[in-house]
Amino acid sequence: MIELPETCVLAEQAEQTLVGKVIKSAVAGFKPHAFALYSGDPSAYNAMLAGKAVTGAGVGAGQDCWGFITQIFCDDMALGISTPIKYHAPGEKPPKSHQLLVEFTDGSHISCNVQMWGSMFCEPAADLDDPERFPNRNLPSPLEDAFDEAYFDKLWQNVKPNISAKGFLATEQRIPGVGNGVVQDILFNACLHPKRKLDTMNDRDRGLMFDSVKTTLKQMRDEGGRDTEKDLFNQNGGYKTILSKKTLAMPCPICGGGLTRQAFLGGNIYFCGICQPL
C-alpha cells in the first residue's frame, strides 16, 4: 500500500503530467498476483478506458480498509490506485511485467507493479460518492484542518486502552493512508515507543502524538515523499527517513545510541530504546 505522503506526490505529478492525454489501451491483470485487487473483471478495463481523456487526478479514499489512494479521472471513469505508479515517456519501453499498463495515444504509458499488495480499481466516477461502497470517503486526512485535536481524541477514545501506539496509528485504517512505514518517524518525533500502550500515556503524550502525526506527514509530503519510496518518475522522495531500513546501521540522531529493528504487528518496527522508552 502506498501511504499518504507518496499518494499526495503521485496525485500531484499525475495531474501535471497526464491531464489531456487520451488512453489508447489498458491492460489489467497481465501478470497474476495473489494480492493484486481489481474492481470487477480486469479484462474489461480496456473497454471502459480506451478513448477516454485524462481530466484530472487527486487523492481519495478507497474501499473499506483501503486508505487514501491516487485517483486518476478519465472522462466519466476513475482509476483508484494504491500501488506505485511509474510514468514512461514516449519512446521509452514499458515494463514487460505489470499488473496494470495504460498506454496513451502519444506513446507514453503508466504502469503499476504490486509490491506486497495493492488495488487498481476502475469505477464510474459518479460511483465514488456511494457511501456504502466508499465509507471512508468523507474521513478527514491528517493533512486537513478537519483532522484536529478533537477528532484525534475521538479516535483515541474509541479504541481499547491497551492497544499499542503502532496499533492505534497504523492498523484498521482508522487514519487512512497511515501505515507501518510513516508511523516509524511519527513515533520517533513524539518520543513514543511503537509497543507502548495507550493506557500508559498521559495527556502530554497524546498531544505529542497528535502534533507529530500532523507535522511529520506534512514534512514528508512537502519534501516529495520518503527516500525509501519512488515517485511517478521513479525517483526517490526527498524526505530523509529517520527510522527505516536505510538508517538502521546509523546512530540515533538525537542521543547517538543504537537503533533497533523488531518484528511487531505484521511488520518491522524501528526505534531508539533511549529516546523512545517502553
Strand pairing report for 259-264 and 68-74: unpaired
More confident residue, 188 or 125: 188
Mean pLDDT of the chain: 93
Residue 68 banded pLDDT, cuts 50, 70, 90: confident
Fold: same for 4-129 and 149-272: no
What pTM was computed for the model?
0.93
In Å, the largest CA–CA distance within the chain is 58
**What pLDDT score does 116 carry?**
83
Residue 130 has pLDDT above 90, yes or no: no
Do 265 and 171 form a contact (C-beta atoms < 8 A)? yes
Mean pLDDT of 126-154: 83
**What pLDDT score does 64 carry?**
45
Residue 152 banded pLDDT, cuts 50, 70, 90: very high
**What pLDDT score does 2 carry?**
86
**What pLDDT score does 65 carry?**
43
Topology of domain 4-129 in CATH is N-terminal domain of MutM-like DNA repair proteins (3.20.190)
**What pLDDT score does 135 carry?**
62
Q: What is the dihedral of CA 194, 196, 198, 204, to 10 degrees?
A: -90
Residue 176 banded pLDDT, cuts 50, 70, 90: confident
- Coil/strand/helix, residue 41: coil
- Coil/strand/helix, residue 32: coil
Topology of domain 149-272 in CATH is Helicase, Ruva Protein; domain 3 (1.10.8)
Q: Where are the domains of the chain?
A: 4-129, 149-272
**What pLDDT score does 137 carry?**
66
- The Cα–Cα gap between 110 and 13 comes to 12
**What pLDDT score does 133 carry?**
66
What's at 138, amino acid-wise?
Answer: N
Within 13 A of 131's CA, how many CA atoms are on the CB side? 2
Q: For residue 10, what are the contacts with CB-CB under 8 A and spacing of at least 6?
A: 2, 70, 85, 231, 232
Residue 128 has pLDDT above 80, yes or no: no
All three cell numbers of 6: 507518496
